[in-house]
Amino acid sequence: MDHQAEAAPTTQSVTAELTFFVDNGEPPVNHVTEKGLERGGEYRKHALNLRDGRAVRDSLSLNREGFELWQHDTMMTDFFDPEEVERVYDREIVALVKQATGAKRVFVFDHTIRVENEDRRGEKQVREPVLFVHNDYTHQSGPQRVRDLLPADEAEDLLTRRFNIINIWRSIAGPVQTTPLAVCDAQTIGADQLITAERRTKDRVGHTQAMTFSDDNRWYYFSDMRRDEAMLLKTYESDEQNHGGPSGHSAFTNPTAPADAAPRESIETRVFAFFD
């Protein structure tokens, strides 16, 4: 594993549309259904320049921009096999996040596979790429997730010290060209841009953040992400003053993708990283 992922054959910026929440006073409420995510509230598309993060990958920091790209091989053979993911991939992810962050303890709590092709998505019973700008946790829902998943006494003890939530994003097929992930430099996100959104499933009501548009934001993506690379994306930080805030992110339709490019297949893994 190496922070310095090998460069793709080319690096470039692209102009593409991202979809942002419009803060008109109506709070966003999103429903997760069998058909996918049904978005609530008003949204608007903006055409933006997305810089290829490969050009600056050596200088990126989770505690500044909120994301990094790592060279990271995996022994996985079938990401659609939950048993193999738990047995093999969880161990790999724990080691990667400890190396990247210096965390004392890393706890894997979620895997989400997203497939662009509708027929294959139905066959595998997985989710679609999310095509609007958001962040996964609020100041309240981050700690609440720890309380939801760990024993009460242990959770409260861990929450007395610094922790963050990191999303580890990877292609599970060929290079990602059609719908890459765009990420926003956390330093450029205004405090009023992240709006609390309800995320309702049949089992629970969670809270995420929808993001409004600003000309001040700097946006990146990583061209042609491969299976042997992992993007680390911070989605919650308990000590933003000293370690920076989360990045906003969204999938986007890449207008420069080759006509014969394979549809995206990816996995995102969410972890708690606990520090002394």
Q: In the chain, how long is the greatest CA-to-CA distance?
A: 54
Residues 6+ apart with CB under 8 A from 59: none
Least confident of 22-26, 69-73, 192-196: 22-26
What pLDDT digit, counting tens, does each position of 135-168 carry? 999 999 999 999 999 999 999 999 999 999 999 9
Residues 6+ apart with CB under 8 A from 35: none
Do residues 18 and 257 touch, judged by C-beta distance below 8 A?
no
Total-model pTM: 0.92
What pLDDT digit, counting tens, does each position of 207-248 carry? 999 999 999 999 999 999 999 999 999 999 999 999 999 999
Q: CA nearest 271: which of 32, 90, 13, 139?
A: 90
Judge residue 88's burial from the number of C-beta atoms within 10 Å of its C-beta, 0-12 exposed, 13-18 middle, 19 or more buried: middle
Is the C-alpha dihedral spanning 149, 29, 127, 173 positive or negative?
Answer: negative
According to DSSP H, which parts of the chain are helical?
82-84, 90-101, 118-124, 141-149, 152-158, 240-243
What pLDDT digit, counting tens, does each position of 46-96 carry? 999 999 999 999 999 999 999 999 999 999 999 999 999 999 999 999 999
39: pLDDT strictly greater than 70: yes
Amino acid at 41: G
Judge residue 25's burial from the number of C-beta atoms within 10 Å of its C-beta, 0-12 exposed, 13-18 middle, 19 or more buried: exposed
Local confidence band at 7 (pLDDT 50, 70, 90 cut-offs): very low
Do residues 3 and 229 touch, judged by C-beta distance below 8 A?
no
The average confidence (pLDDT) of the chain is: 93
What is the Cα–Cα distance from 155 to 133, expressed in whole angstroms? Answer: 30
pLDDT at 9: 45
Do residues 25 and 94 touch, judged by C-beta distance below 8 A?
no
What pLDDT digit, counting tens, does each position of 163-183 carry? 999 999 999 999 999 999 999
pLDDT at 67: 98
Do residues 196 and 207 touch, judged by C-beta distance below 8 A?
yes
Pairing status of strand 14-21 against strand 43-52: antiparallel
Domains of the chain (ranges; CATH) run: 14-274 (2.60.120)
Do residues 219 and 213 touch, judged by C-beta distance below 8 A?
no
| 145, containing H or E segment | helix 141-149
Do residues 275 and 102 touch, judged by C-beta distance below 8 A?
yes
| 156, containing H or E segment | helix 152-158
The partner residues of 43 in beta bridges, in order of sequence, read 21
Do residues 50 and 13 touch, judged by C-beta distance below 8 A?
yes
